[in-house]
A and B are shown apart, each in its own frame.
Chain A
């Protein structure tokens, strides 16, 4: 990977990174406070196939908007004893390390995070993994650096899911949070919609039209085995898991219009939650499992509502714009993100339950299906650029935006996965 261009725009930094693999990444904006950090090339990192560890770590940190990456300008210390702090003026943190190939195709990566102001070591760690998992190690290092310097959990080791559409060909795809390591779970000549991660990250529920109408499937990532969760007459759609993974909320039209239902993860115990003639769809569980957010046009236009999981009165939460769609709770449960439609344009917006004020985070476009990263700091959504569907992220304060361009097809229906169990 190489830096292709630096352009300084009025609004802040604008940077394009040309990735060798699936995606091209463009970042705009910057956090209010950026920590100046230098990630030094790791010793022997070029001996391992694929992207260099220091490059992956640098790009992960850059994408958050919270760091200013300082060029080491040829300096290459690999051990704390090699570091002469006077040579790093203005740098607050240093990442150094080394890569070593072990017997049996394994790789050991040693790294240190140094506080360049206090001249002390913050983290020192050695990680061993199979040689084809160097990127995973690098993401883990970036997570540790991010956690130590920001106090929030890193999400670089998490994964995302989305649908890639090329003409009439659809693929359900899982990838690393930076878009690398694409793995196709399902490939069809019929539409695929609405992937949803199980809370343990081991299964994905989704909607497929392979039976001629919308049917809900659940697929296990490790085995690729899948099963039908709901195949009633009409449309079966919008699956979403409860935080404990024991049940799913979904939408069926078997009784007429789209209505919310609960079902156990094994497909038993179907229970209807809403009882009306309107479209009720896109349920999302609150982190405490007590509430469902959903989209409904019961008030004349599509708006966001909240209902207790056991059903009953539904409270309308959004009133601005022409309509609002696709709500999802923030991981702390204090607010939610949604797609706000006004003046022919979709925006990504958040709202907290205390003030109930809408905050628009983006400049608008064809922006749909937002979901929070599990640390609540970033929001992933689908948008369009140059006539193509792409992935995009925005920091939850709206300051830093990132676009990820796929080389092929339109990307739709993205959703950020949970923290991986380490």
Chain B
């Protein structure tokens, strides 16, 4: 548990450092884009990795794409607030950018329960991103449950890595 908290705090801290510029722009209204969502559909291919798409407002891509969860918990943790805010701001400023939120779980529990848990984690990250300025149409979700672990050990260190949602730019 200690290790988990440490890594979450660390991620939160890094995200906070990286997202300083983005934070200011979050204060801007989220435009009147909520209803007219198809605008982004035909836009040019979305951002690749850390570079913003050409012609769109330059907003730094957040450093961390992962948020972490305690055991059997699907609520986004305070430690990841800055990561969520940064991605929400980025998506708000880059309306053609799209992400897939991938929910994962550690191997404790049944594979089907963990598939459900990963989906809830992804859904909650999606909600948080929308609250942080992203549009619904920019985010899809998927759960990999316990099927695609980042770390393969049967210990808390690995499990903490695997209780995770990734924000993946398409």
Interface set of A (CB-CB < 8 Å, partner B): 191, 193-194, 207, 209, 212-214, 233-235, 237-238, 251, 253, 256-258, 279-282, 295, 297, 301-302, 323, 325-326, 339, 341, 344, 366, 368-369, 412-413
Chain B residues with CB below 8 A from A237, complex form: 112, 115
Q: Shortest CB–CB separation between residue A207 and chain B, in angstroms? A: 8
Residue of A nearest to B107 (CB): A366
The CA of A279 and the CA of B141, in the complex, are separated in Å by: 16
Residues of B within 8 A of A323 (CB): 72, 109
CB-defined contacts of A234 to chain B, threshold 8 Å: 119, 141-143
Smallest beta-carbon distance A254→chain B, Å: 10
Which listed residue (A212, A214, A325) contacts B110, Cβ 8 A? A325
List 29 A-B residue pairs with CB atoms under 8 Å apart, sorted by A's residue number. Answer: A193-B115, A193-B145, A193-B147, A209-B144, A214-B145, A233-B140, A235-B116, A235-B143, A237-B112, A238-B112, A238-B115, A253-B143, A257-B119, A257-B120, A279-B113, A279-B116, A280-B116, A281-B115, A281-B116, A282-B110, A282-B113, A295-B112, A302-B113, A323-B72, A323-B109, A341-B109, A368-B111, A369-B110, A413-B111
- B interface residues, how many (CB within 8 angstroms): 22
Chain A nearest CB from B128 CB (Å) reads 15
The A-contacting residues of B in range 86-126, CB under 8 angstroms, are 108-113, 115-117, 119-120, 123
- Given the known interface contacts A214-B115, A214-B143, A235-B115, the answer about A368 and B110 at a Cβ–Cβ threshold of 8 Å is yes
Residues of B within 8 A of A191 (CB): 144, 147-148
Chain B residue nearest in CB terms to A302: B113
Per-residue A-contact encoding for B139-170, CB less than 8 Å = 1, 0 else: 01111110110000010000000000000000
Residues of A close to B154: CB separation below 8 A: 366
- B72 to chain A: which residues have CB within 8 Å? 297, 301-302, 323
Instruction: List the 6 shortest-distance A-B pairs measured between CB atoms, nearest first.
Output: A258-B116, A191-B147, A279-B116, A325-B110, A213-B142, A253-B119
Q: Which residues of B contact A (CB under 8 A)?
A: 72, 108-113, 115-117, 119-120, 123, 140-145, 147-148, 154
User: Is chain A's binding surface mostly helix, strand, loop or mixed?
Assistant: strand
Residues of A within 8 A of B141 (CB): 234
Shortest CB-to-CB span from A368 to chain B, Å, is: 6
Most-contacted residue by chain A among B112, B145, B148 (CB, 10 A): B112
Query: Is the pair A281, B112 in contact by a Cβ cutoff of 8 Å?
Result: yes
**Complex: how many Å from CA A214 to CA B116?**
11
A368 CB contacts on chain B under 8 angstroms? 110-111
- A412–B72 Cα distance when bound, in Å, is 22
CA distance A282 to B112 in the complex (A): 7
Q: How far is the CA of A281 from the CA of B147 in the complex (A)?
A: 16
Q: If A209-B144, A209-B147, A234-B141 touch, does A194 touch B112 (CB 8 Å cutoff)? A: yes
Q: Bound state CA distance, A325 and B112, in angstroms?
A: 9
Contact indicator A257/B123 (Cβ below 8 Å): yes
B119 contacts across to A, CB distance below 8 A: 234-235, 253, 257-258
A233 contact set on B, CB distance < 8 A: 140
Question: How far does the alpha carbon of A414 sit from the alpha carbon of B148 in the complex, in Å?
Answer: 19
Give B141's nearest chain A residue, CB to CB: A234
| Bound Cα distance from A258 to B141, whole angstroms | 13
Residue among B111, B148, B154 with most chain A CB within 10 A: B111
Q: Please state if A194 and B143 are interface contacts (CB–CB under 8 Å).
A: no
Judge whether A341 and B108 touch: CB under 8 Å.
yes
Chain A residues lying within 8 Å of B145, measured Cβ to Cβ, are: 193, 214
| CB-CB nearest in chain A for B148 | A191
Chain A residues closer than 8 Å to B113, beta-carbon distance:
279, 281-282, 295, 297, 302, 325
Q: Which listed residue, B111, B116, B148, touches A194 by the CB 8 Å rule? A: B111
Contact A295 to B123, CB < 8 A, known contacts A193-B115, A235-B143, A253-B116: no
Contact check: which of B110, B120, B140 meets A295 at CB < 8 Å? Answer: B110
